[in-house]
Amino acid sequence: MGSKNKLKRFNENDTFDNVIQPTREEVVNGFQWKGKWNSFFKNDNPIILELGCGKGEYTIALAKKNPNINYIGVDIKGARFWRGAKTAIEDNMNNVAFVRTQIELIDLIFAENEVSEIWITFPDPQIKYKRTKHRLTNHDFLKKYNHILNEEGVVNLKTDSEFMHGYTLGLLHGEGHEVIYANHDVYKNQGAPEEVINTQTFYEQQYLEIGKAITYIKFKIRF
C-alpha cells in the first residue's frame, strides 16, 4: 500500500465515529471509555473483541449475524481496519467499533469483567524464543484477558500456524485452563463451529490456496 493511500485512510479514519485512536498517554492515564463501553454503544449488550483484527473481517461478519452484540476490533494498524470501519458505516452497523492501540494495553482499554468473548485471528506466531513475550496467548496476555473477561468469557484462537496452535495448547494444559474445543484442521475435520468455517479473513484465503491447514482452539482462562 502506497504512503499516499495510507495517508488517505488515516485521514478518513479521523472522520469515522466508530474509530477511536487514543494516544498511549491517554490510555495509561485513564482511557475515557474504560468501564463505559456500554455508554459508547448506548446499550447494555455483550461486548466481543477481535484482537489484531487486521481488516476487521471477523468483527464485521459476526456483527452482521449478531446485531444484539457489540463488536470491537483492536489493532495498531489503522490503515488496515479502515476497511472494516468504512464497511460498518456504509452498512449502518451501530454495533461495531475499532480501537487503534497496542494489544498489551488491552487491560487499560477495558475494565474488569467488561468483555464477554475474545477472538484472536491469525496472529503473528512470534516463533523465535526471544519473541515469546509478544505471542498473544502467552501467560502475561492470558492474565490480561482474564482480567477483562466476565466469568463465562471465552477466548477463540484461529491460526494457520501449527507452532502457535501447539504452543497455546501446551500452555493451556500446563497452566490448568479449560480447553473447550480444539481442531488442527477445521476444513477437513468435522465439528468446527459455524462462525469458524463460515468467515474467512483475507490472509486465511491465501493460506487455503496453498493448502495450509487452519487450526482453532476455544478455551476458558482459569487463574
- Strand order of the sheet with strand 115-121? 19-20, 96-100, 70-75, 47-51, 115-121, 149-159, 215-220, 178-183
From the CB of residue 85, how many other CB atoms can be counted at a distance below 10 Å? 27
The torsion defined by the Cα of 191, 56, 132 and 176, in degrees rounded to 10, comes to -40
- Going 94 to 79 to 48 to 189, the CA torsion angle's sign is positive
For residue 10, give the C-alpha cell.
488515516
User: From CA 146, how far away is CA 107, in angstroms rounded?
Assistant: 9
Residues annotated as catalytic (active site), given as ranges: 124
For residue 46, give the C-alpha cell.
455483550
For residue 100, give the C-alpha cell.
487503534
Residues 6+ apart with CB under 8 A from 136: 51, 52, 103, 120, 123
Strand 149-159 relative to strand 215-220, pairing: antiparallel
